[in-house]
Amino acid sequence: MAPPTTVATASLPAPGRSSKLLIWIVVAVGLAAAAGAAAYFLLPRFTGGAASAAEAPKPAAPEKPIFVMLDPLTVNLQAEGRSRFLQIGMALRVRDEHAKAQIVEFMPELRSRLLVLLSNRPPESLVTPEDKAKLAGEIRTALNAPLTPETPELGISSVSFNIFVVQ
């Protein structure tokens, strides 16, 4: 007869003990989450966080824009064989009332700068939105140049077209 063989069994924890440990871990995590939520919602009231947020200064309202409307201009375009014209009207956005007053005072010179800048352009260079944006930048640069050696640049921040007709 063969000697009886013994089967080695791994020692497993008692089923009642592991389930109790798991329950205690879940309860501890739940209590920690509840304590964190309570601290998040209640602590600002005790430390003045909610009151200071309500009393915080509101951001300043954006300043009212200042525009100078220019009378429409009509200029000859460089065309091969036939006459082509550009009729353009625009508004200049300026930084302050002083710049607006300077533009009104020097309007004849500014219109002359515009006529020189716009005349004899090929009509094909004024077709796409990119071309018009580039032209607006050129106009802003030309008009922002100082009017006299003693004066600073005008402070024109943007040029908006309200009439743009190529004929």
Domain ranges of the chain: 19-55, 66-166
Ramachandran quadrant class, 81 (left: phi over 0; alpha: psi -120 to 50; beta: rest): left
CATH class of the domain whose range is 66-166: alpha beta
Q: What is the arithmetic mean of pLDDT over 8-35?
A: 73
pLDDT at residue 155, rounded to an integer: 87
Q: What is the arithmetic mean of pLDDT over 87-109?
A: 92
pLDDT at residue 135, rounded to an integer: 93
Is the dihedral angle over the CA atoms 93, 163, 117, 73 positive or is it negative? negative
Could you say which DSSP state residue 91 is in? E
| Residue 115 pLDDT class (50, 70, 90 cuts) | very high
| Residue 121 pLDDT class (50, 70, 90 cuts) | confident
Would the pTM of this model clear 0.75, i.e. be above it? no
Q: How far is CA 81 from CA 112, 125, 126, in A?
A: 26, 17, 18
| Burial label, 85 (beta-carbon count in 10 A; 0-12, 13-18, 19+) | middle
Q: What is the arithmetic mean of pLDDT over 149-167?
A: 89
